[in-house]
Amino acid sequence: MKRDRTPAAAGFSRNPPLPGRGEVLIRSGHLLTMDPKLGDIAAGEIHIRDGEILAIGAGLSAAGARVIEARDTIALPGFVDTHIHLWNAFLRALFRDDPRFGYFPLTQRAGPLCDPEEAYRSVRLACAEALSVGITTLHDWAHNVRTPAHADAEMAALSDMGIRARFSYGWGTDFAPTRAIDVADVARVQRDWLPRAPLLSLGVALRTAVAMERGSVAIEVLREEIAGARRLGLPLTMHMRPGAVATLEKEGLLGPDFQLVHPVGFTAAEIAAIARSGAKVSTSPSSEVGSMQRTAGYVQFAELAQADVPIALSTDTTGSSCNADFFAVMRGVMTAHRLRPDTSMALPARRLLELATIEGARQLGLEAHTGSLTPGKRADLILLRSTDPNMAPVFDAARSVVISGSPANVHTVMVDGRILFAGGKLTAADADEIAREAAASARAIAAKVH
């Protein structure tokens, strides 16, 4: 199959062409469609042609289709990771318990040393990991776009790996707070890349105008960046710190095109402002509970749910705080919620699975294409072995996935009708080569970071 490549991507791409889509019948799986009209089907089929889900039901057949036997597996939509910094995945070897080598100090020192080649290698590594744990859509929160070539490198890697993604074009770690994101280059990426990369979409990642570990951006610069992104019709995303929402609200900048990351430390007035604005929120329990934001308070899932603010899940960084295990992300949110003595709001396993799939798709504006197993949508799905020792026996499949599931149970991963992971391996990329290249880059950066 011929792969479309922009000229800018040609210098990076080194994967073999992605596998063909063809016609597939997934047979006799336990289907968690996450589509309220279809519900769960205890032994059902999914008929897929050219990446589109044609039909779902029990007892379907499809003459001539390739059959994937799904007995003893649970089929569900792939996970949607709504915020992850792919560019620093390869730096995971360099983090230490020494605070100088913690997440923010290290990435601030290493970021300026990363060339487009490092960006390409790290994004490929992160995508390889994401696919192997069942993430089929991710939001590449790119806050080290130092040059246009860095943007091309990340887009090329995403495109090469065959994953569905939003690339949110940010700043460079070496930018002064007065230097704006290159909005003209964002427009170039939109114009040159998107028509040729149907699985990729675009957004803009912003700095906060309040104090933050990476420094804050000048408010005039932020206004200009937001206006530029809105002129291009692109969604916005920003990390949250105390006062960030109040500032956006005061400046009249908050809107339904905003994704706010890290729901910790919001005031009641800020939560009301978020709800009024239609903005969405992404929670990354491994950072919020585990390390970076521990001092700012607890994850405000209950308050946001109470205010009907849309919430979805994310890993944040697989460099310092976690790996991309999305089962752990679901359980992290559950634990963070249950640890709170001041709420009795229920957060059942099935709701967590919705947050990990369909709510993630909605948060990225992709619900017409992915997030549930629904005829007419694209085939982004995973099969999990339900007979593995950590899963069996399974009565309530949704609960088993959330409570007992692990990346080790991932049997097959399909994105847009292409099988990208099967039999414990990536099918369309050389995982050993990806790891070797990432290690070589990590060694080179390690030699320069002190």
* Residue 141 CB, nearest approach to Zn ion (Å): 6
* Residue 143 CB, nearest approach to Zn ion (Å): 8
Q: What residues from 106 to 165 belong to the interface with Zn ion (CB under 5 A)?
A: none
Q: What residues from 94 to 113 belong to the interface with Zn ion (CB under 5 A)?
A: none
Closest CA to 204 of 139, 147, 153: 139
* Residue 235 CB, nearest approach to Zn ion (Å): 16
- Residue 238 or 384 having the CB closest to Zn ion: 238
* Residue 74 CB, nearest approach to Zn ion (Å): 30
CA–CA gap between residue 89 and residue 110 (Å, rounded): 12
Size of interface with Zn ion, in residues (CB under 5 A): 1
DSSP string, 304-331: HHHTT--EEE--B-TTTT--S-HHHHHH
Closest CA to 35 of 406, 358, 430: 358
- Residue 182 or 316 having the CB closest to Zn ion: 316
* Residue 282 CB, nearest approach to Zn ion (Å): 9
- Residue 292 or 414 having the CB closest to Zn ion: 292
Q: How many Cβ atoms from other residues are within 10 Å of residue 399's Cβ?
A: 16
CA–CA gap between residue 24 and residue 14 (Å, rounded): 27
- Residue 90 or 421 having the CB closest to Zn ion: 90
Q: What residues from 282 to 321 belong to the interface with Zn ion (CB under 5 A)?
A: 316
The one-letter code for the residue type at 420 is: L
* Residue 84 CB, nearest approach to Zn ion (Å): 8
Contact 366, 201 (CB under 8 A): yes
Q: What residues from 167 to 186 belong to the interface with Zn ion (CB under 5 A)?
A: none
CA–CA gap between residue 424 and residue 51 (Å, rounded): 22
Contact 168, 202 (CB under 8 A): yes
CA–CA gap between residue 33 and residue 40 (Å, rounded): 6
The H or E element that residue 307 is part of is: none
- Residue 316 or 416 having the CB closest to Zn ion: 316
* Residue 262 CB, nearest approach to Zn ion (Å): 7
- Contacts with Zn ion, 314-333, as mask; x by CB under 5 A: --x-----------------
Q: Backbone phi, then psi, for 178, in 5-degree steps?
A: -95, -5
Contact 386, 364 (CB under 8 A): no
The tokens of 271 are what? Answer: 């939560």
- Residue 160 or 316 having the CB closest to Zn ion: 316
- Residue 225 or 316 having the CB closest to Zn ion: 316
Contact 395, 405 (CB under 8 A): no
* Residue 292 CB, nearest approach to Zn ion (Å): 9
DSSP string, 258-278: EEEE--BS--HHHHHHHHHHT
Nearest residue to the partner Zn ion, using Cβ? 316
- Residue 140 or 416 having the CB closest to Zn ion: 140
The tokens of 442 are what? Answer: 């990590």
Contacts with Zn ion by CB under 5 A lie at 316
